[in-house]
């Protein structure tokens, strides 16, 4: 089968490479010198400190993927993933607070927004307004056919009235704007054409959020329900100005989200392994560091091998995106492998720590809890396995059918 042909119109050179490398080096220092020392504060108070949020805004992190012509840094996908990867070496909350902005929300504007919507919302993202992405519901996640949130024409004007609820929405408790998926038709063809997307400011009358959910890990990163009760939005809130395109925009945006999660899981696995290396060289048993024991070395080596594989996948899939290739299956594959890999690595790290790995005073226990969600959000491993297989079967049918 021939390799996919790049679409020159979609090729994204991104930021000048020398400038980007300088920025990446600065960001690595910031993560190690500023964010990692602040992790204790994040964990104890379950929030990212406001002074750090302001620093991240001043660094332009909330708008790094916004095109340069709109005032953003204009990073391409490879550079965007590198930034996410660098930031994700620290506590997950630091990535979580800006990841929706630069991933799914900015991507939806780029892929499906009108020029007026881009002119309005790109500057707000750049200045650090926080976005959230409203797809999942109490009775539906990846199954758009079960979506219950509705948007009906406002009889008093040219706008829309939204009713329904969304669940597990990252950043919802403190977001300034939401991209809400809603049913505009009972059913429609082609498949999923009954779903449309709406840009909804979170201070719109009728919107409310639940209390932040208590979670297994990822302190400082907040999720909650969003309730929509007769929420009136103007006609220009409809993403792209056209109904029936919401699910397509959402799925295109989720590619970026899945790359972000894969990059984050890869970085957190690296952080956990670095911690295990340090501990194995400091902890002694039978008169020598446990790092000298062959079975400890085997766990270290297996972890390094898997992290390296995920790093290579990240580089490959993001370069393919920037060449304009269709990467739905490869983005899913990267997210599956990286998230599952991270789970295996943090499990080994707990084992290397031994009894100390089960105690909250050591980092290994936190790494273990934090990493578990990577295999669930932005598409569970099982949903993505189905997506990858369907893509494979369609490609086989094209060749052999």
DSSP assignment letter at 260: H
Annotated catalytic residue within 306, 325, 365, 378 = 378
pLDDT band at residue 211 using 50, 70 and 90 as cut-offs: very high
Residue 86 has pLDDT above 80, yes or no: yes
- Of residues 252, 325, 330, the one with CA closest to residue 7: 325
Establish if 187 belongs to a structural domain.
Answer: yes
Q: What is the pLDDT of residue 393?
A: 95
51 and 100, same domain (yes or no):
yes
pLDDT tens-digit readout, 381-395:
999 999 999 999 999
235 and 262, same domain (yes or no):
no
Please state, for a pLDDT cut of 70, what percent of the chain lies above it: 95
The residues pairing with 179 across neighbouring beta strands, listed in sequence order, are 133, 199
How high does pLDDT run on average in the chain?
92
Evaluated on CA atoms 160, 164, 170, 174, the torsion sign reads positive
Please state the domain count of the chain: 3
Q: What is the pLDDT of residue 168?
A: 93
DSSP assignment letter at 3: P
Establish if 1 belongs to a structural domain.
Answer: no
284 and 144, same domain (yes or no):
no
Establish if 3 belongs to a structural domain.
Answer: no
Q: What is the CATH classification number for the domain harbouring 197? A: 2.40.110.10
Global pTM? 0.92
Q: What is the pLDDT of residue 253?
A: 79
90 and 188, same domain (yes or no):
no
Domain residue limits at 138: 132-242
113 and 145, same domain (yes or no):
no
208 and 291, same domain (yes or no):
no
**What number is the average pLDDT over the span 36-65?**
95
| 380: phi then psi, degrees, rounded to nearest 5 | -65, 160
* 378 has catalytic annotation: yes
Among 242, 265, 298, give the residue marking a domain's end: 242
Residue 45 has pLDDT above 70, yes or no: yes
344 and 216, same domain (yes or no):
no
Cα dist. 239→172, 185, 213, 375 in Å? 19, 16, 29, 29
pLDDT tens-digit readout, 281-311:
999 999 999 999 999 999 999 999 999 999 9
Establish if 2 belongs to a structural domain.
Answer: no
pLDDT tens-digit readout, 173-208:
999 999 999 999 887 656 677 889 999 999 999 999
214 and 121, same domain (yes or no):
no
User: Element (H or E) spanning 52, and its range?
Assistant: helix 50-58
Q: What is the pLDDT of residue 188?
A: 60
Q: What is the pLDDT of residue 6?
A: 41
Cα–Cα distance for residue pair 239/255, rounded to 1 Å: 18
């Amino acid at each position: 089968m021939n390799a996919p042909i790049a679409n020159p119109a979609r090729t994204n050179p991104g930021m000048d490479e020398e400038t980007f490398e300088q920025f990446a080096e600065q960001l690595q220092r910031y993560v190690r010198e500023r964010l990692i020392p602040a992790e204790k504060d994040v964990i104890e108070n379950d929030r990212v400190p406001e002074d750090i949020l302001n620093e991240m805004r001043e660094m332009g992190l909330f708008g790094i993927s916004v095109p340069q012509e709109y005032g953003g840094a204009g990073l391409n996908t490879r550079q965007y993933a590198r930034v996410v990867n660098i930031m994700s070496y620290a506590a997950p909350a630091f990535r979580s607070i800006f990841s929706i902005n630069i991933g799914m929300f900015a991507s939806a504007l780029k892929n499906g927004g009108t020029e007026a919507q881009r002119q309005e919302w790109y500057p707000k993202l750049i200045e650090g307004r926080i976005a959230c992405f409203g797809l999942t519901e109490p009775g539906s996640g990846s199954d758009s056919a079960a979506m219950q949130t509705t948007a009906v024409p406002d009889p008093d004007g040219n706008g829309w009235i939204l009713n329904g609820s969304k669940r597990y929405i990252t950043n919802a408790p403190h977001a300034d704007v939401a991209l809400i998926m809603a049913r505009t038709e009972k059913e429609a063809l082609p498949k999923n054409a009954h779903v449309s997307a709406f840009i909804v400011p979170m201070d719109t009358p009728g919107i409310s959020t639940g209390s932040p959910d208590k979670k297994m890990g990822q302190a400082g990163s907040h999720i909650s329900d969003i309730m929509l009760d007769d929420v009136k939005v103007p006609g220009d809130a409809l993403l792209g100005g056209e109904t029936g395109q919401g699910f397509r925009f959402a799925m295109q945006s989720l590619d970026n989200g899945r790359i972000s999660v894969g990059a984050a899981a890869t970085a957190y696995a690296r952080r956990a392994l670095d911690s295990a290396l340090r501990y194995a060289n400091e902890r002694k048993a039978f008169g020598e560091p446990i790092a000298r024991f062959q079975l400890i070395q085997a766990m270290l080596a297996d972890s390094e091998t898997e992290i390296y594989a995920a790093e290579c996948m990240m580089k490959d899939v993001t370069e393919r995106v920037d060449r304009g290739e269709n990467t739905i299956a490869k983005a899913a594959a990267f997210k599956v492998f990286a998230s599952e890999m991270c789970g295996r690595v943090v499990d080994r790290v707990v084992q290397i720590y031994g009894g100390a790995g089960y105690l909250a005073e050591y980092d290994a226990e936190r790494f273990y809890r934090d990493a578990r969600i990577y295999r669930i959000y932005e598409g569970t491993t099982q949903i993505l396995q189905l997506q990858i297989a369907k893509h494979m079967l369609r490609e086989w049918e094209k060749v052999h059918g």
